[in-house]
Structure 1
Amino acid sequence: MARFKAWVVEKEEGGQSLSFTDFDEADLMDGDVTVRVTHSGLNYKDGLALTGRSPVVRRFPMIPGIDFSGVVETSDHPAYQPGDPVVLTGWGVGETHLGAYAERARVKGDWLVPLPAGLSPAQAMAVGTAGYTAMLCLMALDAHGLTPDDGPALVTGASGGVGSVAVALLARAGWHVLASTGRPEEASYLKSLGAAEIVDRADLAKPGKPLAKERWAAAIDAVGSTTLANVLAQTRSDGAVAACGLAQGMDLPTSVAPFILRGVSLLGINSVTTPQPKRRAAWARIANELDRDTLAAMTNRVGLAEVGRLGDDILAGRVRGRTVVEVG
């Protein structure tokens, strides 16, 4: 069996260690498809795994990295043949199953999606888990029956990965987008993605009233905690909020008031174990609806060897947009 470069998290007394090392292909976990990984991404959950700031990694040793694009090398799965380009997001990869920050990955074929037509492997990881999650949020708002005619749409954590893609997708769909950020220097960047107005993160991050002035008909929230409570309190009657993240915290200090007095709906987004039909529909919409120039404008690239230093940066909110990891 071959050896290849990989980032490996090991358990140690009082925490964990992270090293960039040679990994033996024989030590990969069970799966019916082996993929030569060409690209991965940097997501908030990857930052948690790399730093050990939260117990995301639940098996040691672990190769972190929750998403990848690549080319099938060997397959015992009927849907995939050697040479097929594929994408993977979710399914516990990088948490309980050896992940993407490596030159090889062995996974279940049922977890894979064929690379969508019109997207290169690098573009697929510029979208990555964050952009895929943003599309699931938009699909949930669409399924709820909301349209741009109902009023503005808010995006929290707008300069991050989920937020950047959400702003671009909503603007492309015709929404008047309000982008919430704690980094005023990113206003020009967010407006280049399609944001019409900038909302100061501080206005939403501190405790507020159970009900406040109605400001938006729809929202995509990647922050959680007090921010999500304030987003709900300011959502218009019969509006909806798609919740997909916890950058501020896992708690939700709200009341039933928005739900029973305004009919606001809270739509939970699970991007990890999304069923295949919905997963493929989301990727098809991304390929058709996300402007490639806008995607390029929000994307940075790093080599695999550079990943280890980025965990603290993404957790501290110092990473703008999307980061593509060029693996091989």
Structure 2
Amino acid sequence: MGRSSLKIAIVRSSLHRGSGQAVHIRELSKGLLKLGHEVHIFSRSIEDETLRGIGHETKFTLDGVPFIRHFGFAASIVRAVRDFDLVHTQYHPSIIAGNWIHKIRGLPHVFTYHGFAPIRFWNNPFQKLKMIDHRVGTYFSLRLGLDRIIAVSHFLKRELVRNYRIEEQLIEVIYNGVDLERFNPRADGRKVREMYGIGSDPLVMFIGRLTPYKGVQFLLQGIPDVLKEVPEAKFMFVGSSRFDAPRIGQLLSDARVRKAAIFTGYVADRMLPQLYASCDVFCYPSLWEGFGLTPAEAQAAGKPVVAFETC
């Protein structure tokens, strides 16, 4: 490596397959590696197979104890991150690990803020408590051992200034990027249409986690109205579901909706360009986003995007 190259530790407590932040970290790492830097990713759980080549899973006691495990994870990262030039943390509780490394090892600490969906959007009491924990923990951690904060949108920068009382000059806005070599109008979606028996029917697509705040219920509720105008239309929902089964059943009570809706479950990242290419319209009715990555990918693929103006 050249004299100006850095050895960088990127830390996030968990990296779920298909998550937007896993994509963010993967693309950031690729960019840093191209610039000649050495990159290592540290996490307690790396589900995303595209990150395992440069990823390190840390093990620690009390991993199964909610909330308390934040500090076990932070301690494991302090032990693992030695002889680095920079630590870059993502989300809570990874920021705690960055705070400790900054104080103990004197390393520069950069934190990327992706935001938190409002608590009112979560139905599960434990999930609500988890979101409160993330927000409170982030509020205090932002004041302990940070050199710079990256917000992935101006909306989130305003949130940091307004809700977390962070000085503007500490925050840099850097949008999430899209790989235009992968996502472009040249991709071929015919295999996807063949795989799901869509043929030449008009196709509306949603890609993302099937959670209430992503707004998939509104798209499902709107299907009967669309079918009145375009009876042959199909609607594809790509992503793992976190809805309760009874709620899905209620939304699919109409036989016409069941016939028109296609649920793929989780689909490997390598299939995304073909998925975007297969659709005619991309619909993303999310109620909240820090930066919606899939609408940007769909636009790069040359598809019209329908979305709420939520942020």
TM bucket by the smaller chain? Answer: 0.3 to 0.5
1 or 2, which has the higher helix percentage?
2
1 or 2, which has the higher strand percentage?
1
Higher CA-based Rg: 2
Higher relative contact order (Cα pairs below 8 Å, separated by 6+ residues): 1
Q: What is the TM-score normalised by the length of structure 2?
A: 0.36
